Amino acid sequence: MTLGAPLKGLVGDKTAKVLDSALDLRTVGDLLRHYPRRYAERGRLTDLASLHVGDHVTVMAEVQRTNVRPMRQRRGQMLEVVVGDGRRTLALMFFNQPWRERELKPGRQALFAGKVGEFRGKRQLANPEYQLLDGDDASDVAEDFAGRLIPVYPASEKIASWQVAKCVRVALDTLEPLPDPLPDALRDERDLIDLDAALRGIHRPSSIAELDAARLRLKWDEAYVLQVALAQRRRLARMEPTPPRVRRPGGLVDAFELALPFTLTAGQQEVAATLDDDLARPHPMHRLLQGEVGSGKTVVALRSMLTVVDAGGQAALMAPTEVLATQHARGIRDLLGPIGMAGELGAADVATKVVLLTGSTPAAARRAALADLASGEAGIVVGTHALLEPDVAFRDLGLVVVDEQHRFGVEQRDVLRAKGSQPPHVLVMTATPIPRTVAMTVYGDLETSTLTELPKGRAPIATHVVPPEKPAYLERAWDKVREDVAAGRQAFVVCPRIGEAEGDDGLEPTATDDEERRPPLAVLDVFPSLRDGYLHGLTIEMLHGRLPSDVKDSVMRRFAAGAIDVLVATTVIEVGVDVPNATVMVVMDADRFGISQLHQLRGRVGRGAHAATCLLVTEAPEGSGARERVQAVAATLDGFELAGLDLAQRREGDVLGAAQSGRRSRLRLLELLRDGDLIVEARTAATALVEADPELADHPALRETLAEVLDEERAEYLEKG
């Protein structure tokens, strides 16, 4: 039996189908990488206070008492078994199964699995699965659980933790000796156990020390294999030839810098110089530019785009939404002025053309834009996913700029790159600050530059949490909006949804609370209530993703021009919207958004010289995780600090999976924040290995493991079409 073998041959067709449908496990390797969530220690009972209603749990508990009684509503008997951890109790309800009383005698310990429910204020499990841990009828426990540590696996209603453990035992008992993907020298240098011992140690540990050694080794597997793949990608990128794109004296860049109405910050100048160096090389740039909200990434990127146009090439800027693409196109034209008006009346002697291409571009305008790109007349194109369409062709694509990269997959970036006759330079931008180890793991094929300095004259943003259960607080929030509008300013009101369950845009999944919650507030409901209520008399408009493109564009133009006092919107205004006169942001149901998303939304105000206020309205109770998230945002303007908190509260696989093509993450044990030193070491070791042995000719086991990872990646890409 090998890691690549289908589970059907190991556990039978019926169990294999359950493992596939319930847990997405198809091969022996999938099963053995389905690591335990935690470990119950034999004799140490689970803390029942940690259970939450709605969770599917596996607990170790001791039977305290049983009681059989007739059911009131229907025929039959109900067996109530009360189990405890020594401090708290949990009721187990079995319907028409009175014979279980013979097994579940007071004093017996067992693993119980089921969904936590609640009846008359008391938590319970209805018809739970269970595995006895003592007595003559628990003889197979010694085989499934080798030591005092009992693995508790991520499971489901279809298959219990101990059933997974049984499958794992069969796999380990029949597994052939495994070739080790980690080089011997690396294992010796860092005192790591071999792969076979690590898999046995994590699934059937006899001691904490054995478990720790297994975890460390398997973390190294995850970090090292990924870093080797990224090192190979960086090396291949360096080997690709591409024409150097050098700034031309007296060209567009010189004219742009002379016309700028402000001075670039020291950070912007430093990053601009780095980009100049990258563009001047005969190999494609692959760089990530991250920066705080409002730090001026677009200006730096535009300067590089003009450098490429100066050198005879073209530049494409891809944004995730039509609103953002339209804002970028308008902002670029405004910044360029006459030098962005080639072919128009009033154009400068040295000029280029800027075109916009989205899914809603009218047919005639689309044909004209495609012709300008194919002929090279348009030096800069701004667009959405529409740029990836097969009929979009360039005369000489020299630079690809991807804005808000976390909204795109790696393969989308590569589709746009492939439109160049030679590999273009690539600049990826994000306003979501990324902790260093995340950047090295998620964007490890890119070099990284960071802008942290905000342009001079930016106003501070005061952030407050508003609990709506105190009417005076919410009324004061609307008073603040009216006060700022009276002073000539403008405001945003942001809601989590448009107004219907389907098609809502922008809402990140967040941790759910135990209690049933009302649906999130919607633009279509909040807009009329404010127009006819608290904000009556003000000019209010709404903006969301399902409005026609011309309507969205008209609303944003009028808001930017100051003709609209208050804009009630979804997160379509999350990034890229630049209205310096907007000084108040009210986020309704703020707990329904993620930390980074709230930070992005807050960045829409405070972009001018006037002091700004962000009001986070939430019904989340004090002490809840949702309330703590909102309070964390209110406590700091430091996006990097918030990014760390955001990552700490999310599963690692969510972070990597979303950025790395959307596939299921291979990170099971590696924690991007806690294991930072290990990731740095793995990157250094992987880079050295790839430089010495680019094709991994001397490391066949590593090459095979890497091929398996990349095959999964390609398969996922092909499945998505």
Assign residue 195 a region (left: φ > 0; alpha: ψ between -120 and 50; beta: otherwise): alpha
Looking at 85-99, 129-143, 322-336, 578-592, which range is the least confident one? 129-143
pLDDT of residue 40 exceeding 90, the answer is: no
Is the alpha carbon torsion for 528, 529, 535, 536 positive or negative? positive
Looking at 209-223, 273-287, 297-311, 575-589, which range is the least confident one? 575-589
pLDDT of residue 460 exceeding 90, the answer is: no
The verdict on residue 86 lying in a domain is yes
Domain boundary among 451, 471, 496: 451
Question: Mean pLDDT: which of 254-258, 405-409, 547-551 is highest?
Answer: 254-258
pLDDT of residue 604 exceeding 60, the answer is: yes
473 and 403 share one domain: no
Cβ–Cβ < 8 Å for 672, 435: yes
The verdict on residue 651 lying in a domain is no
Confidence at residue 454, expressed as pLDDT on a 0 to 100 scale: 73
Domains of the chain: total? 4
Nearest to 647 by CA among 662, 667, 617: 667
For residue 444, what pLDDT band results from cuts at 50, 70 and 90? confident
Rounded Cα distance, 590 and 628, in Å: 11
Residue 3 contacts by C-beta under 8 Å, 6 or more apart in sequence?
27, 28, 29, 32, 175, 178
pLDDT of residue 409 exceeding 80, the answer is: no
CB atoms within 10 A of CB 5: 16
Computed over every residue of the chain, the mean pLDDT equals 87
pLDDT of residue 537 exceeding 60, the answer is: yes
Confidence at residue 139, expressed as pLDDT on a 0 to 100 scale: 53
For residue 673, what pLDDT band results from cuts at 50, 70 and 90? confident
CB atoms within 10 A of CB 123: 17
- Bridging pattern class, strands 314-318 and 378-383: parallel
Q: What is the pLDDT of residues 200-245, one digit of tens each?
A: 999 999 899 999 999 999 999 999 999 999 999 889 888 889 999 9
Full domain range(s) for residue 601: 461-636
600 and 701 share one domain: no
The verdict on residue 491 lying in a domain is yes
Tell me the three state secondary structure of residue 2: coil
Confidence at residue 353, expressed as pLDDT on a 0 to 100 scale: 96
Residue 665 contacts by C-beta under 8 Å, 6 or more apart in sequence?
652, 653, 654, 655, 656, 657
481 and 441 share one domain: no
Q: What is the pLDDT of residues 335-382, one digit of tens each?
A: 999 999 998 999 999 999 999 999 989 999 999 999 999 999 999 999
Number of residues in the chain? 721
Is the alpha carbon torsion for 40, 43, 49, 51 positive or negative? positive
Rounded Cα distance, 333 and 340, in Å: 6
pLDDT of residue 383 exceeding 80, the answer is: yes
For residue 413, what pLDDT band results from cuts at 50, 70 and 90? confident
182 and 234 share one domain: no
Confidence at residue 607, expressed as pLDDT on a 0 to 100 scale: 85
For the stretch 8-11, contacts whose Cβ atoms lie closer than 8 Å and that sit 24 or more positions apart, written own/partner, are 10/167, 10/170, 10/171, 10/174, 11/167, 11/170
514 and 380 share one domain: no
Token representation of residue 644: 């760390």
Cβ–Cβ < 8 Å for 518, 547: no
Global confidence as pTM: 0.72
Bridge partners of 347, per DSSP, are: none
For residue 142, what pLDDT band results from cuts at 50, 70 and 90? low
Cβ–Cβ < 8 Å for 431, 405: no
Confidence at residue 508, expressed as pLDDT on a 0 to 100 scale: 38
Nearest to 4 by CA among 22, 31, 23: 31
pLDDT of residue 15 exceeding 90, the answer is: yes
Rounded Cα distance, 535 and 630, in Å: 25
Assign residue 43 a region (left: φ > 0; alpha: ψ between -120 and 50; beta: otherwise): left
What is the CB-side half-sphere exposure of residue 183 using CA atoms within 13 A? 17
What is the CB-side half-sphere exposure of residue 501 using CA atoms within 13 A? 2
The verdict on residue 644 lying in a domain is no
Confidence at residue 609, expressed as pLDDT on a 0 to 100 scale: 84
CB atoms within 10 A of CB 658: 16
Domain boundary among 451, 477, 502: 451
467 and 433 share one domain: no
In sequence order, what DSSP letters do the residues of 565-624 get, joined into one string?
Answer: SEEEE-GGGSSS---TTEEEEEETTGGGS-HHHHHHHHTTSS-SSS-EEEEEE--PPTTS
pLDDT of residue 146 exceeding 60, the answer is: no
Q: What is the mean pLDDT of residues 451-457?
A: 76
Rounded Cα distance, 68 and 93, in Å: 10
For residue 272, what pLDDT band results from cuts at 50, 70 and 90? very high
User: Distances from the Cα of 169 to the Cαs of 5, 58, 221, 404, in angstroms?
Assistant: 16, 19, 22, 45
592 and 706 share one domain: no
Q: What is the mean pLDDT of residues 613-640?
A: 90
Token look-up 């019904």 returns: 619
Confidence at residue 499, expressed as pLDDT on a 0 to 100 scale: 85
Q: Distance between terminal CA atoms of the chain? A: 33
Confidence at residue 442, expressed as pLDDT on a 0 to 100 scale: 75
Confidence at residue 559, expressed as pLDDT on a 0 to 100 scale: 94
355 vs 177, residue with greater confidence: 355
Using only the alpha carbons of the chain, give its radius of gyration.
Answer: 29
Token representation of residue 345: 């009346």
Nearest to 513 by CA among 356, 411, 622, 440: 622
379 and 488 share one domain: no
Q: Could you tell me the CATH number of the domain that includes residue 544?
A: 3.40.50.300
Confidence at residue 529, expressed as pLDDT on a 0 to 100 scale: 95
144 and 291 share one domain: no
Assign residue 170 a region (left: φ > 0; alpha: ψ between -120 and 50; beta: otherwise): alpha
The verdict on residue 681 lying in a domain is yes
Question: Mean pLDDT: which of 99-108, 137-146, 376-385 is highest?
Answer: 376-385
For residue 135, what pLDDT band results from cuts at 50, 70 and 90? low
Q: Could you tell me the CATH number of the domain that includes residue 117?
A: 2.40.50.140
CB atoms within 10 A of CB 235: 14
Confidence at residue 407, expressed as pLDDT on a 0 to 100 scale: 66
Token representation of residue 483: 């006060």
Q: What is the mean pLDDT of residues 453-482?
A: 87
The verdict on residue 501 lying in a domain is yes
406 and 288 share one domain: yes
Between helix 595-602 and helix 625-635 the angle, nearest 10°, is 40
Token look-up 């009828």 returns: 137
Domain boundary among 605, 621, 636: 636
Q: What is the mean pLDDT of residues 74-79?
A: 86
Q: What is the mean pLDDT of residues 124-139?
A: 78
In sequence order, what DSSP letters do the residues of 641-662 get, joined into one string?
Answer: HHHHHHHHTS-HHHHHHHHTTT
Rounded Cα distance, 196 and 193, in Å: 8
The verdict on residue 31 lying in a domain is yes
Tell me the three state secondary structure of residue 637: coil
Token representation of residue 261: 């109405």
167 and 21 share one domain: yes
Nearest to 285 by CA among 168, 177, 426: 426
The verdict on residue 191 lying in a domain is no
pLDDT of residue 419 exceeding 80, the answer is: yes
428 and 544 share one domain: no
pLDDT of residue 644 exceeding 80, the answer is: no
Confidence at residue 459, expressed as pLDDT on a 0 to 100 scale: 73
